[in-house]
Chains A and B, each alone.
Chain A
């Protein structure tokens, strides 16, 4: 049986349904983003680890120039090593029928049985290779899809200058290549890079690796010390051109994947906090107003013998009902979002299977956060309920205290009309309320700004990286370091307009106990095609001495300009040198290490040697040039800038923008909710006063002006405040999106501010018109007759 007090609660809720709904939606938005992001984070984490386990993704990896197979036994005997698999890995140029652009393939060997011990793949279509099958290959799914490759199709590869034909027998996925990134690239590019598995025997023959290996994967015992094992492996491989053993967290694909999954978690905190903050504010306004209008009812309940606690709980329950509805809706929304985002990411990452997992912990945490925010918002109102002396019920409220406004006190009384004075005095009487309302509306502007800011930032990032930093048409990499003659040969090719050579060397950077494996890029100082540009200070000329790091990389290594770094080169004579960090550069994409090319040549104890070149090409000659370049024996690969640009826009950017579009939808809800609440509260509070004004002869227009004028002023103040808040929130959000892959610049176009303000003003106009209709229909007799 529902008690009379509960019936009052339900009817009060029904009466304030518009405002309650606004809060319910806000709480729902917050809970949806929180539960959705946290759920997606956990689901992906679980999917990732089950994928890794199931396909025996190795714990450690090492590449070397060439070592006899017998060395594998020594590695297997190292303490802490559970199992070992040696492989032959080689990059080659692929010719794909009907595709004119350069394609690089990473050939990875598998045992003749067709199934590796470690780093297994998952066959999606077709089968794996068989011992007697001949020149069979399995290709990675991303690449296969990009070129519509199916079992039965033919592939031609140029491996170390030799053309070989293969037949596709299967399409597969592998935990090692969740992110299929060509070494040195910043983004996956499935059209131009793919992984191809073939039999060890075939690949060894093509690469002169019979009885030898150049790549090894290790599984460690659970109690093994990874750094110790890596150090021992390095010592063993030193003689064989080892390029440094590394653990899973430095494996390129895992690094990107784990980084991106981690990012979801930071989104899961920042965005919902904003929504909850606004919801708390709305609760504050609505409950404050409800308690003010129910002052007499509260006192009456107490006079009837209800205790302070019971009376407080009555209002507390009302808030709980609102929160519970918001939570329920939010959890449902969160489940949907978790499901949709996990599916989307799982498709993007091509997980063979995925787990969708929403734990009670997340829901409980969302509930705790919501309650915490709500208690901040309504604490004051509930305290007033509890402490209101019941004798108040019998005493009329003293008239509100008004004072002449500052403008009037300055003697400018005649400047303002009677109506304007009423507006100003009302604001002057409750400046905090006015400020909070403006702030609430400001938050709506701010969230819209944040939602749209992602678009601006991505546009800027793409423009900056691909039109300002990377201005080459293609990057040509050679199979091995070559003399400067190679540059001259390139220059002489018809259709090539400009060639700028570079030297790229695999290194391990070490600062204290922190290490980072990367390529040290040597550029010619006056280069135009690939520039080192600081986002704040502009193009930078590489210093003659020392190196330059992307600030993000300097942060990872914990170094500052002027510090000494140990550079361990993994190629050639493998020197280890102390190099000073001359400067850091604020870049948006990737993490890089730069040096002037001549300085790098000196460090390598070599003459003028190049690893490849950035080239500018004549547009008309593109097609024939690709063909020519791909058939040049010393060319390992050609990367096209346009393709990189396209792949960036199609991958990460797309997923970030999906999140942003959810944000914009939610921000619009907030804008409407806050403005609607502000207007409804003022109308309810001043119904009597406005009706009185109508009775003494004011027109509807004049009366509306008094109420809507105040609303308009609130919105007017909110616009600039919201823009500033939006900038700050964008900074906060951008700081959450900070990975090795890319950083988001805080770039907000004027049009973003304008549209954010536009949406809020539009919402305010719609709400204003609704309120105006209510003012027009004000029932003068009944409003004045009964006390509320």
Chain B
């Protein structure tokens, strides 16, 4: 996956780390692949980290995006395979699906 270096203030919550964040002593503060939350970003700022490598999600082609959405939908459908066909169960499925789709952007 393609990555880019971004100044910390340009990183938004939800972005994924494209490479390990390393402190001055060479210790890994945060491993590649971690999802950056608001609190993690604040913690990195406090540790004096100014720039991080993030994965360029926006570089995904439309077909790659669709493939990812499909994988998420399929996993959720698999999880709900025994949940029965009640209206409440359907509602819960839709809420979680919606949430996952928003996460994918």
Q: Do A and B bind each other?
A: no
